[in-house]
Amino acid sequence: MNSVTRAALAVALASACSSDSHRSPPEAAPAPLRPAVSSNQVTPVTSPPPMLPSSPDPIVPKLVADAYGDPWNHVDRDERIDAIWGEAGAARLRAIVADDAAPLKARLVACEVLFKRDSPSVWQVGKGKVAQLYARALAENATGFANAWGLLYEHNDAGALGLRFLQLGTG
């Protein structure tokens, strides 16, 4: 095929494609676009409402609100642990630790009390579940303090929760 024949074929093909007789019916018009938000418009950002404890146990809100005092202050930690233990006991604390819907802080404090007062009770919840609890607490900064996890390198100490985290291993 020579170049003149190719050119004639291309023109005929183009002509046939543009002919009204070979056209498909017109398509529906696309939906109108929503107006763009200009960069000077500010969308207010609101914080989500605080999560209410889902656990029916009345001690859960107390654990979240530090009703027994700061759970990470080691000066009077034993008194706080005794108070929580005296009010809740092993079965209730174990149930809080096991409740994935309970607030993270309540679960962590309950677990720390169990470790201190009845460590075999913790393992009834399951090592993997407890390890996940501590990993999430570390990732989400549930304590609000790095030194509880040994992350301040204070006194070359792993921190109380850091030691517990290491004790749990890979779960």
Domain range annotation of the chain: 59-168
| 104-117 vs 160-168: helix crossing angle, rounded to 10 | 80
User: CA-to-CA distance for 10 and 12, rounded, in angstroms?
Assistant: 5
Q: With 50 as the cut, is the pLDDT of residue 14 above it?
A: no
| pLDDT tens digit sequence for 88-101 | 999 999 999 999 99
Overall average pLDDT of the 56-71 stretch:
92
**Least-confidence region, from 53-67, 85-99, 104-118, 142-156:** 142-156
User: How many helices and strands, by DSSP H and E, does the chain display?
Assistant: 7, 0
Q: How many other C-beta atoms lie within 10 A of the C-beta of residue 119?
A: 10
| pLDDT tens digit sequence for 103-115 | 999 999 999 999 9
Q: With 60 as the cut, is the pLDDT of residue 39 above it?
A: no
Which pTM was predicted? 0.63
Q: With 80 as the cut, is the pLDDT of residue 34 above it?
A: no
